[in-house]
């Protein structure tokens, strides 16, 4: 029993060491760990602006992110995912595990031992699932930001990505209230990248490095993907 406990503690410490070596401005930093009996805990840096999940709704009484901050967060998330993929790491990306520091710099969190896997252990296409989730997160951020969709009150009957695709493909402006021209370009770029990421076939989705490149590039060189993505109202990991 004691030998098994010691072996388990050693394995835990080795895994913590692996996570501790992760250093990127868009991945939450591991500060330390604690072992007490059978209990184990990981300690991460404090993120004062909390989870991105609480900002996705723009209902009265909640805090809404500006379009500029949304774009900054999207680019930061893409850079963090790309960093993890370069080290062959896959993590289930969701709004609630994107944390925001005092400057609204996004950091990927929830890198607990049970949720952080080498790609080789779970299949080579797993990083494409990360891209799909990332694309749907961008869509959700835009959808909940407010007044981008004139049918916002009836979204249960409207598939938002399909609506966005048609608007952009037909050369129509996305409804964004008093947004500046630069903010409109940022959001259009975000939506085109999102549409690429949610392509039906995983092999048609871009690499994470390509996603970063697309977000950093001028909107004028962005190419629309085929209209080939799952046509359902609620998304799930693909």
Return phi, psi of residue 92, to 5°.
-75, 105
Distance CA 208, CA 85 (A): 8
Spot the catalytic one: 9, 82, 87, 92: 92
Pairing of strands 106-108, 117-118: unpaired
Cβ count near 233 (within 10 Å): 10
Distance CA 21, CA 186 (A): 33
Q: Is 92 a catalytic residue?
A: yes
- Which residues are part of the catalytic machinery? 92
């Amino acid at each position: 029993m004691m030998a098994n406990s010691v072996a388990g503690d050693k394995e835990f410490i080795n895994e913590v060491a692996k996570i501790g070596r992760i250093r990127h401005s868009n991945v939450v930093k591991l500060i330390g760990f604690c072992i007490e009996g059978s209990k184990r805990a990981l300690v991460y840096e404090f993120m004062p602006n909390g989870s991105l999940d609480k900002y996705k709704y723009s209902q009265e009484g909640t805090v809404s992110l500006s379009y500029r901050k949304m774009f900054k967060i999207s680019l930061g998330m893409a850079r963090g995912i790309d960093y993890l993929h370069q080290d062959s790491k896959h993590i289930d990306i969701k709004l609630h595990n994107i944390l925001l520091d005092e400057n609204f710099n996004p950091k990927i969190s929830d890198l607990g031992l049970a949720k952080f896997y080498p790609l080789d252990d779970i299949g080579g296409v797993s990083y494409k699932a990360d891209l799909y989730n990332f694309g749907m997160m961008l869509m959700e951020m835009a959808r909940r930001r407010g007044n981008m969709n004139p049918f916002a009150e009836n979204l249960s009957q409207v598939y938002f990505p399909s609506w966005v695709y048609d608007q952009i493909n037909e050369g129509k402006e996305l409804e964004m209230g008093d947004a500046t021209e630069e903010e409109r370009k940022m959001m259009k770029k975000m939506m085109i990248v999102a549409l690429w990421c949610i392509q039906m076939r995983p092999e048609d989705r871009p690499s994470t490095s390509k996603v970063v490149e697309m977000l950093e590039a001028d909107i004028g060189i962005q190419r629309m993907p085929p209209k080939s993505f799952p046509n359902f109202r609620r998304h799930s990991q693909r």
